[in-house]
């Protein structure tokens, strides 16, 4: 069977890894990547697939209703997987508006196109951050799909709003949707503004490693390929209208991650610099993935010790990719975010 799959945000971190996974596993599928190429999108990431016959890249804003409708008419997709988003919490604290535009309105425009061109299957890539955070002293508590939405940052509030719209389009218009809510990802092509790639890049350049607060916040880390495999399963076997949590029971404190990176790169821990905490900083995320395991048989395949080594090696082997990124507009971002912090 051949299918046309629209992947929005496919020039970003997880979307690009998802494209590689899909092109490898389903050579008969046509993959169309829709991406605005914001600061977070890099066409060079997609270099290995750009010339393939069953792949097309379209530079487009998901908020461009007319352009989106034209593309749906032309390509007649069978499935839309929406990764496109503004994704960085710190940026959402500095300037929330674009988060509302892309993450909420963009999602709505894509779903309107899905309705208009034949009730097309829509998958929303969401985040565990819609559940807010958990206390550090209650390790027994985990996010399930029934945990109430309780957001902290403009980023998570915008993602949660999109989720509510997706559920509304299912209930009101019968749009065939699914939603996945994943914990923190790490792996190749992760933009170096996020914790793990930022610490690797800074350590390699012998620059300070800025840890927010005391570094005690906990995140539940999942190797990006495991996330992509989970979305693939949901697309092919998931129940319409359902939410699936994705996570690998891999909770770690930020400070322990940073120390581990120092050790792996043989850099001194004296590079670690404690800086002012993030406003509204979520303490702990932890996913209960029982539903996706029981219903779809998904389990994470990459242990953290293995995944982090692979990731560090990737950043060592692909210096040009991240050095190009941090040599441009990123310099201004970094100065604004970290100078005098
Ligand atoms: P990213 O920031 O690396 O990539 C986002 C991509 O979307 C970029 O290529 C960017 O150019 C594109 N984009 C942004 N605005 C757009 C617009 N208006 N129109 C078209 N394209 C646009 O993000 P990521 O880390 O790959 O995250 C992808 C998705 O997964 C997001 O929806 C995010 O909320 C979700 N998610 C991320 C994580 C994580 O740990 N990174 C965890 C759970 C869920
Ligand atoms: P991040 O990678 O931005 O992901 P998220 O906020 O979506 O979980 O941050 C992960 C954790 O690392 C979070 O607790 C904030 C912290 N952090 C730092 O301590 N220093 C940094 O420079 C960054 C970017 C994040």
CA of 194 to the centre of ligand 2 (A): 6
> Which listed ligand is nearest to 228 at the C-alpha?
1
Atom of ligand 1 nearest to the CA of 14: 26
For residue 158 the two structure tokens come to 């915008």
Q: Hey, where are the domains in the chain?
A: 4-191+222-252+286-303
**How do beta strands 243-246 and 177-182 pair?**
parallel
CA of 195 to the centre of ligand 2 (A): 5
Reply yes or no on whether the pLDDT at 247 is more than 80.
Answer: yes
**Residue 2 pLDDT:** 75
Task: Please report, in angstroms and rounded to a whole number, the separation of the first and last CA atoms in the chain.
Answer: 54
Residues known to be catalytic: 128-129, 155
Q: Which CATH number fits domain 4-191+222-252+286-303: 3.40.50.720, 3.10.105.10, 3.50.7.10, 3.30.1360.170?
A: 3.40.50.720
In angstroms, rounded to a whole number, what is the distance separating the alpha carbons of residues 243 and 167? Answer: 9
**Which of 6, 8, 13, 223 gets mutated to test ligand 1 (max ligand atoms within 8 A of its CB)?**
13
Mean pLDDT calculated for residue range 147-151: 98
Query: SS3 breakdown of the chain: % helix, strand, coil, rounded to 5?
Result: 45, 15, 35
Q: Which helix (H) or strand (E) holds 245?
A: strand 243-246
pLDDT band at 165 (very low <50, low <70, confident <90, very high): very high
Beta-carbon contacts of residue 170 (< 8 Å; ≥ 6 apart):
176, 177, 240, 241
In angstroms, rounded to a whole number, what is the distance separating the alpha carbons of residues 308 and 106? Answer: 33
CA of 270 to the centre of ligand 1 (A): 33
Q: pLDDT (tens digit, 9 = 90+) per residue, 55-80?
A: 999 999 999 999 999 999 999 999 99
**Residue 231 pLDDT:** 98
**Residue 1 pLDDT:** 58
Beta-carbon contacts of residue 194 (< 8 Å; ≥ 6 apart):
88
pLDDT band at 340 (very low <50, low <70, confident <90, very high): confident
What residue's CA is closest to ligand 2, atom 7? Answer: 89
Q: What's the DSSP call for residue 89?
A: H
Mean pLDDT over the full length of the chain:
97
pTM metric for this prediction:
0.98
CA of 220 to the centre of ligand 2 (A): 12
Q: Is 162 in the pocket of ligand 2 (CB under 6 A)?
A: no
């Amino acid at each position: 069977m051949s299918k046309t799959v629209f992947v929005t945000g496919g020039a970003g971190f997880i979307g690009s890894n998802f494209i590689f996974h899909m092109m490898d596993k389903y050579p008969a599928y046509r993959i169309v990547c829709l991406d605005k190429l914001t600061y977070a999108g890099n066409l060079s990431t997609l270099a290995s697939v750009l010339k393939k016959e069953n792949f097309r890249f379209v530079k487009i804003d998901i908020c461009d209703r007319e352009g989106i409708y034209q593309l749906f008419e032309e390509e007649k997709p069978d499935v839309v997987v929406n990764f496109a988003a503004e994704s960085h919490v710190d940026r959402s604290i500095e300037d929330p508006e674009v988060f509302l535009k892309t993450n909420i309105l963009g999602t709505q425009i894509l779903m309107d196109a899905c309705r208009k061109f034949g009730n097309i299957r829509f998958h929303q890539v969401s985040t565990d951050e819609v559940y807010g955070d958990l206390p550090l002293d209650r390790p027994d508590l985990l996010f399930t799909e029934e945990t109430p939405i309780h957001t902290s940052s403009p980023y998570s509030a915008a993602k949660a709003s999109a989720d509510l719209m997706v559920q509304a389009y299912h209930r009101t218009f019968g749009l065939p949707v699914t939603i996945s809510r994943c914990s923190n990802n790490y792996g190749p092509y992760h933009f170096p503004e996020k914790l793990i790639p930022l610490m690797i890049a800074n350590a390699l350049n012998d620059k300070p490693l800025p840890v927010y607060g005391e570094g005690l916040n906990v995140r539940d880390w999942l190797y990006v390929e495991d996330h992509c495999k989970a979305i693939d399963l949901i697309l092919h076997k998931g129940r319409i209208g359902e939410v699936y949590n994705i996570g690998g029971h891999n909770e770690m404190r930020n400070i322990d991650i940073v120390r581990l990176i120092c050790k792996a790169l043989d850099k001194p821990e004296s590079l670690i610099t404690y800086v002012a905490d993030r406003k509204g900083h979520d303490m702990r995320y932890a996913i209960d993935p029982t539903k996706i395991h029981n219903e779809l048989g998904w389990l994470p395949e990459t242990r953290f010790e293995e995944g982090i080594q692979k990731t560090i090696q990737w950043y060592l082997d692909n210096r040009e990719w991240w050095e190009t990124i941090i040599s441009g507009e990123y310099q201004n971002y970094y100065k604004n975010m970290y100078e005098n912090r």
